[in-house]
Amino acid sequence: MDNVEILRSFIKKHNFNPEVDVMLMNGNTWDDVYSIVFNEEDLPDYQTAIPIGDIQFDVISDLPIDSINIVTNNIKD
């Protein structure tokens, strides 16, 4: 599964708005994605980007839907 497939799965799983801000490392491909900022409507108390690794873990491990709230509440600015 590549980053775009993982992101689509994550958005579908959590029923998030697909309009996101994608942070890239060295280029302009999905392989270069290192974090995602979701819409305030989806994560109202969350202002910082979620690392792609956390999103991958959420999708691949098939965690319960509320697990992302635990992750986002524990990420420090």
pLDDT tens over the chain, length 77 residues: 888 899 999 999 888 888 888 888 887 888 888 888 888 777 766 666 888 888 888 888 877 777 776 666 666 54
Which of the 8 DSSP states describes residue 49?
P
Report the largest interatomic distance among the alpha carbons of the chain, rounded to a whole angstrom: 33
Q: Report the C-alpha gap between 30 and 41 in whole angstroms.
A: 24
Sign of CA dihedral 5, 6, 12, 17: negative
Amino acid at 17: N
* Angle of helix 67-74 versus helix 52-60 axis, rounded to 10: 160
